[in-house]
Structure 1
Amino acid sequence: MIPDDIQSHLREHFPLREDLRVYVLVDGIQFHKHTSTAIQPQAGSVIALFAGTRDERLAPAGPWLIDPAHAKGIVRIAAEMEPALPGVVWLISALEIEKQAQALRQMIDMRLPNGRELMVRFWDPRALVSLYHSVGREKWRAHFGGVVEWHFIHQGNRIYIGNHA
């Protein structure tokens, strides 16, 4: 169940964009904390973003990209979790899920000006807000341009960050 406010936002702001999809990013640790169960991968609908990366051993606890059309049970739980736990972020994207997962995997690491590498926890709303404010709109768009909008709850309010013009 995609939250009503996100569905309304999509219809209102993108009425001619039939190519757009809504996905949800869920933090595996927060999901386990909420349900006492782990998210299980499902081909084409539930994808561990750490799978196939150097952090693969952390895949169960890391971020999961989920297609609401094919994983309604997980999405229902994510919607329940969202107000209480910092581990749910909704994405609006034009990419199909496998391509979106690959694009997100490439966004996990960011090189800082001093050459150090940083893991970007974009599946955590607290980190998203801080990151957006610290890097600014242009750097945000350059790094996260593959996602049209990010929607999440931060301090009790629905926030969205758009990458469109």
Structure 2
Amino acid sequence: MDVLDRYGQLRTRLQTLNLYALVDGALYQQHRERQLEQVPGGIVALFSGTADDALAHAGPWLVDAAQVTEAVLRDLISLERAAPAVTWLIAEADLTGLTQLLQLRLDIKLPDGRTALLRFWDPRVLAALFQLMAGDQRTEFFRHIHEWHLLDKGIRVWIGRQDADAQ
């Protein structure tokens, strides 16, 4: 099922849901030969204001589907098919709130105490991460996301908050 169709279906039951695209800035630039640009209230670089601020252009970008043009959405849908550069989130949080929640997930502590960047915006990493997580880890990581959609080896899958299983 198409992400936009699924979002429309869910909105008939829960009007407070919002649709977002999470975009890999480096792959966007590689495939579109331009950088994503911040749009107040519409497009935010998740690295902005973090220790990785200097790399914001290449990091993950959160796009509020309701605040961008249909042409931008079509471009992101096309990019998703061409490269592992886009995942889709359906959540009740507004752009600012979801940005903050996702920024909290950027770094993880390794068993030896070091910090590592968790590339959850990459659909390949997200699919593997989901498989590796225990039930309580899945619940914690995905609890603020109603559904997280991605292409896994060309097949549309989603991770749902209600059942913490890939659909």
Whether 1:159 and 2:157 are equivalent positions in the alignment is yes
Please tell me whether the aligned partners of residues 107 and 144 of structure 1 are also in contact (alpha carbons under 8 angstroms). Answer: no
* C-alpha RMSD of the superposition: 1.7
Q: TM-score when scaled to structure 1? A: 0.90
Q: TM-score when scaled to structure 2? A: 0.89
* Aligned match of 1:38: 35
* Aligned match of 1:58: 55
Superposition map of 1:3-152 within 5 A: 5-13=2-10, 15-72=12-69, 73-152=71-150
* Structure 1 gap ranges (5+): none
Query: What's the secondary structure of 2:81's corresponding residue?
Result: coil
1:98-125 Cα shifts (integer Å, max 9, x gaps): 1111111011112244433231111100
* Structure 2 gap ranges (5+): none
Corresponding residue pairs, total = 162
Query: What's the secondary structure of 1:158's corresponding residue?
Result: strand
1:47-79 Cα shifts (integer Å, max 9, x gaps): 000000000001000000001122224322111
% identity of equivalent residues: 34
